[in-house]
Amino acid sequence: MRTYGHRIGGQWVKAASGQTFENRNPADTAELLGVFAQGSAPDVEAAVAAARDAFPAWRALPAPKRGEILYRCAEILVRRKEEFARDATREMGKVLAETRGDVQEAIDMTYYMAGEGRRQFGQTTPSELPNKFQMSVRMPVGVAGLIAPWNFPMAIPSWKMMPALILGNTVVIKPAPDTPLSTLNLLEALEEAGLPPGVVNVVTGGGEPGATLAAHAEVPVVSFTGSTQTGRKVSEACASRFKHCHLEMGGKNVILVMEDADLDLAVDGAVWGGFGTTGQRCTAASRVVVHKSVYAKFTQAFVERARALRVGNGLDEKVQMGPLINQAQREKVEGYVKVGRDEGAKLLTGGQPLKTGPHERGYFHEPTVFGDCAATMRVAREEIFGPVVSAVPVGSLEEAIAVGNSVDYGLSASIYTRDVNKAFTAMREMYTGIFYVNAPTIGAETHLPFGGTKNTGNGHREACTQALDVFSEWKSIYIDYSGALQRAQIDD
Ligand code: NAD
């Protein structure tokens, strides 16, 4: 068991307050992964100062050279993938197959952004005047303040860090208190790859350092992933300083199952979409909206599969679903099970916490399915972030789309159908940032934009080249080589 400090300016630094917190395995709370520094405002000050001091030299390093460091980092992540995946499973509970995927996402993003070291394309366009040249280039913004959740403990930090770094920004990142280790592992790989001290700084802890970072006068760009409630606070903290503010927040994603769907495929998708990561994905398929003519058949097969899922410690390769992240999250799930029952939703399976035998020392809960839900019920509208899926019967594609769009979130949706007309109609009509055909609501790749509409996002996108827009400013440059004053819009 190790004690970790903040990582500031390439050094381990104790919390200014002297306070620490424990990081325990949510599948077995007897297992202590480490003791971490409890961050507060002075720690954020020190980290921002280190990032500010590192900015001029990092910005001046040619982007392809920054890309080479990222490329080496990706190679290290490949080599250490298994070790980092195990750490991630131990700190947040999802099964090893999924944490391997989490590290793989970080690898994909790091290679992708390494390549952007030789791209970062701007425009060159003809001028309306003779002997005049014009182009646009990206500039870094400065110190980027990054705030991450715990459900993708290495992937999400990488989605924010790598685009920020390739553009020449320096970074202060505040991981979620449940998963500080995976962010420190990512920084270890970057440092091993040759990242200069102070270019990335990690301050661990909870809401206080997060809020300090979001409001800090010397942090002109903030990228946040987490709940809509916290995102609103971050947005408000950024607004008065006109900061770049990128928010990825909650979801209530939907799978539409049409009367002509391949039902076996739809059930596979609903099980993976609903119970993967114990339902704790922003893109989790927490609603299935099913045509009445196949509703009974679909729900019966879905419930059988949900009931058969093996729940346990994610390090056991036979386990299919891990625990919830912490006690508060399990209590939230238990609260929603009660809400669903009180609202008159039909509990088809699950509904109980698992607290005995192999589940005694973890935050486990049964995979749970509510049936016959009305679209207006809270369990069918609000983000639960646990292994609870609400099934809503509908009579037509139009009704399915209306129910799908009726929530306050707009991250991901999918349709199961063999009818190309239905697929294209739903693709056009669903007001979400991500849409799938004959696949569940999860499965995003790093080279397409990622993000959502309504209460899920604020108009920006993560991943792909769109991520570069969050962490850069455009500069438009005009070079007049006519030797005379030429007036745009006035001279012929
Ligand atoms: P959270 O909002 O509780 O915390 C997110 C981060 O914000 C943590 O690091 C936390 O310490 C920090 N924080 C807390 N208070 C803060 C404040 N006042 N100012 C600044 N930072 C503060 O969310 P969580 O429980 O870690 O994650 C779950 C949520 O994240 C879910 O709602 C989920 O949908 C969402 N999420 C969204 C995406 C997406 O891409 N849309 C991805 C993953 C998770």
pLDDT at site 1: 80
Active-site option among 282, 366, 373, 462 = 282
**At residue 114, what is the residue type?**
A
Pairing of strands 346-349, 368-371: antiparallel
| pLDDT band per the 50, 70, 90 thresholds, residue 167 | very high
Give distance in angstroms: CA of 157 to centre of ligand 1: 12
Question: Which ligand 1 atom is at minimum distance from the Cα of 205?
Answer: 11
pLDDT digits (tens, 9 = 90+) for 289-344: 999 999 999 999 999 999 999 999 999 999 999 999 999 999 999 999 999 999 99
Judge whether residue 32 has pLDDT over 90.
yes
pTM above 0.95, yes or no: yes
| pLDDT band per the 50, 70, 90 thresholds, residue 64 | very high
What would the mean pLDDT of 251-258 be, rounded to a whole number?
A: 98
Catalytic status, residue 282: yes
Instruction: Round the average pLDDT of the chain to a whole number and report it.
Output: 98
pLDDT digits (tens, 9 = 90+) for 373-429: 999 999 999 999 999 999 999 999 999 999 999 999 999 999 999 999 999 999 999
Give distance in angstroms: CA of 249 to centre of ligand 1: 7
* Percent of the chain clearing pLDDT 70 (strictly above): 100
pLDDT digits (tens, 9 = 90+) for 172-221: 999 999 999 999 999 999 999 999 999 999 999 999 999 999 999 999 99
Active-site option among 248, 259, 383, 462 = 248
Instruction: Give kind and range of the element (H or E) at residue 12.
Output: strand 11-13
| pLDDT band per the 50, 70, 90 thresholds, residue 269 | very high
pLDDT digits (tens, 9 = 90+) for 34-52: 999 999 999 999 999 999 9
Judge whether residue 492 has pLDDT over 90.
no
| pLDDT band per the 50, 70, 90 thresholds, residue 140 | very high
Of 243, 240, 140, the residue nearest 458 (C-alpha): 243
Query: Would you give the distance in Å from CA 406 to the centre of its chain?
Result: 23
What would the mean pLDDT of 91-113 be, rounded to a whole number?
A: 98
How far apart, in whole angstroms, are the C-alpha atoms of residue 168 and residue 209? 24
pLDDT digits (tens, 9 = 90+) for 119-131: 999 999 999 999 9
Query: Under the phi-then-psi rule, with left for phi > 0, alpha for psi from -120 to 50, and beta for the rest, what region is 100?
Result: alpha
